[in-house]
Amino acid sequence: MPQNLWNDAEAKALPDLDGLVYRSNLLGRDRAVCNIFGGNTSAKIDVVNHAGRQTRVLAVKASGSDLATITEPQFAILYLDDILPLINREAMTDEEMVAYLDRTAFEPGRPRQSIETLMHAFVPFKHVDHTHPDAIISLACTPNAEQTAKDVYGDRMVYVKYIRPGFTLSKWIGEKIAANPQAECVVMGKHGLIAWADDSKTCYDNSIRIIAEAEAYIAERKRGKRVYGQLTVPALPEAERREIMTEVLPVIRGAVSKRSHTILQYDDSEAVLDMVGSAKSGEVSQQGAACPDHLVHVKRQPLFIDWRADQGVDALKKLVQDGVADYEQRYGEYFETNKEPGDELRDSAPRVILIPGIGMVNTGKDVANADVSRQLYHRAVEVIGGAEALGEFVSLTAKESYDIEYWPLELYKLRLRPPDRDFAGKVVLITGGASGIGRATAYKLASDGAHVVVADINTENGEEVAADLQKRFGKKRAMFVHTDVTSEAAVQNSMQQAILAYGGLDVLVNNAGIAGGMPIEETTLADWQRQIDILATGYFLMAREAFILMKRQGIGGTMVFVGSKNSIAAGKGAAAYSAAKAAEIHLARCIAEEGGAHGIRVNSVLPDAVIRGSSIWSGDWKAERAANYGVEIDQLNDFYRQRNVLKVEILAEDQAEAIAFLAGPRSSKTTGAVLTVDGGVAAAYVR
């Protein structure tokens, strides 16, 4: 049941617009009341305009914001008296409506008003909530939805059949409410709910109470029923699911990323496992979308994979690949059947993939987008289940779906998005990402759109980097995985974590390292072995596992090895380190040779003397190097600056820039190369 979350003490002090923000956030807090990014709210407010005149404005949610997190600047504010006379018109196209409303802006610079603004204006009450509650949509997605809604509310409700939002729907709603003064809500066929009042608290109370009535009605009819049928495929044990998906997610990612790189979210929550394993889920899930607001992020149908564990993992991979190809073909047919002049086919890959015994996989252009799809399919499961409990689920038709998916006003929201950056939709794993060059690279690639896996033995610093990246770029845009690159099992675990979090991997930055130098006679076997283990073996293990994963995905990939000036210039007094660094770049070239056939590029960056921010310079290394060159420790920075021909200090950010270039699309025809980033040191000039 929806909880009434209103708190008088919190609400009282808030003036009109802030009060509207408060109410909106409360509604958005419960996703069974209001979908992520769905629904909208409004208030009609008396204000004094810039000329000192008393005037009425409509504050309404702007297009593309989410009620749960909406803030005051995300409301559009429009002159209400300019809008109200529109109800007397016979018709208005979407373009006319938007152009008209754009001219009623009370304050310049606010975002564009919701597509449903006219409906808010025409409801003759001060406060209006339009939500997409699961239970209401269940009522509204049954064969005789109007009668079903009447059974719950009697004449306290007026019903409007489904049409795409716009002028006509708004006019119908305004007129129906005017003609039915006893009504306290509108149920919108295959869409949602409108409730209202003259004060904000009553408006909220009404929304919650009306939704609770529908929930109680459905709960009664659900009692003792399994709405998706008997459980025919029980969930596999969690560890087994994860093992299987470690192999299968990269295959899915490859299949759905043909047009552009896609991030996956894997959901094996109880509700999903129960649904996908039930007898009727394969059939019911294919009916169509339950609500226009779901559709935009889950598409008309999920891809249902009819697989049983006894068929084996290879069969699942094949079913997924064939399933995606078939889905894309069917999507193309849907596009051809319904397209209007000027329409262009958009991504035809599924956004939701259901696998019995395993769970659900959602796709998106980034992790936030994939997560919206995940959240909305949870809502769809509830809505469809509710409708089935009431008799039968009736979805939007193919034509209705198409008209939403390719609606110019929906496409407008997509156009608001900034153009894709170099690493949009890509997953990057950086070893040694907790410090120095790796850390600077993590920030650089994240700011260029990457999802970043920070792999390091330093948990404290690694977690701090990941948390800060999340704060700056989004909740799931980065993660930390404790990884010792010398351990085969740890390296494999880091790949598995990347797969389970994002679906795969596109870029490996092989960077974790140490320093250390001494004359050859003093170099113990243990010293030698340590350098070889971390620098040579560590780079090998990471690269091998990344190679296997990239090949499985089948969409190419890049690796950047962070070598050193010492990879090609003999490092006096640092034989073990230099030999290991030389091994790294030769390893890179060998893998470049093998990777070409699979679109996997491997290049190296060779830094020299990055002192600021690097922890390898905080130990004995600095003293050793100073002694080696016969300078004081505090002169070392200047020594290195004077050593290069450009006389510049070399920064971790300079390395990150070069790594981003070699890892990204701007170097798409370069592989097996080395790029020095050292200010120019003749000994390291590449010959």
The first and second tokens of residue 10, run together, are 């919190």
Q: Of 577, 629, 640, 685, which is the active-site residue?
A: 577
Least gap, CB of 235 to ligand NAD (angstroms)? 35
**Site size for ligand NAD (CB under 6 A):** 29
Pairing of strands 557-562, 507-510: parallel
Examine residue 571 and tell whether it contacts ligand NAD (CB under 6 A).
Answer: no
CB of 110 to ligand NAD, least distance (A): 45
Binding residue for ligand NAD (CB under 6 A) from 168, 338, 493, 615?
615
Task: State which of residues 431, 496, 578, 644 lies at the interface with ligand NAD (CB under 6 A).
Answer: 431
Q: By the 8 A CB rule, do 325 and 349 touch? A: no
Question: In the complex, what is the shortest distance from the CB of residue 671 to ligand NAD, in angstroms, rounded to a whole number?
Answer: 20
CA torsion sign for 18, 19, 24, 26 is positive
Q: How many residues does the chain have?
A: 687
Site membership for ligand NAD, residue 436 (CB under 6 A): yes
Between 202 and 486, name the residue whose CB sits nearer to ligand NAD.
486
Binding-site member from 19, 386, 607, 664 for ligand NAD (CB under 6 A): 607
> Which of 2, 39, 254, 432 touches ligand NAD by CB under 6 A?
432
Asked if 63 touches ligand NAD (CB under 6 A), the answer is no
What is the C-alpha end-to-end distance of the chain, expressed in Å?
72
The only residue of 362, 458, 531, 667 in contact with ligand NAD, by rule CB under 6 A: 458
Q: 3-state SS of the chain: helix, strand, coil percent to 5?
A: 50, 15, 35
**Helices 436-447 + 652-663 axis angle, to 10:** 50
577 given a catalytic annotation: yes
Binding residue (CB under 6 A) for ligand NAD from 485, 509, 575, 602: 485
SS3 assignment for 275-295: HHCECCHHHHCCCCCCCHHHH
Annotate each residue in 203-242 with x if it binds ligand NAD (CB under 6 A) or - if it does not, as one string: ----------------------------------------
Q: Does 438 bind ligand NAD (CB under 6 A)?
A: yes
Alpha-carbon 672 to chain mean position:
33
Bridge-based pairing of strands 352-355 and 192-197 is unpaired
Nearer to ligand NAD, 439 or 551 (CB): 439
Q: Which residue, 119 or 681, is less far from ligand NAD as judged by CB? A: 681
The rounded distance, in Å, linking the Cα atoms of 503 and 482 is: 19
Site for ligand NAD, residues 374 to 413, rule: CB under 6 A:
none
Tokens of 492: 């494999």
The answer to whether residues 33 and 211 touch, using CB atoms and an 8 Å cutoff, is yes
Count CB-CB contacts under 10 A for residue 159: 20
Stretch near ligand NAD under the rule CB under 6 A, chosen from 33-41, 256-264, 386-394, 435-443: 435-443
Binding part of the chain for ligand NAD, among 56-64, 306-314, 387-395, 452-460 by CB under 6 A, reads 452-460
11: tokens are: 């609400």
The structure tokens listed for 569 are 């210039």
Which one of residues 208, 236, 437, 674 is an interface residue with ligand NAD (CB under 6 A)?
437
Q: Which of 200, 375, 395, 614 binds ligand NAD (CB under 6 A)?
A: 614
DSSP state of 113: B
- Supply 388's token pair: 């089935």
Taking CB under 6 A as the rule, does residue 560 contact ligand NAD? no
Number of neighbouring beta carbons within 10 Å of residue 602: 29
Tell me the catalytic residues.
577
Binding residues for ligand NAD (CB under 6 A): 431-432, 434-438, 456-458, 483-486, 511-514, 534, 538, 562, 564, 607-610, 614-616
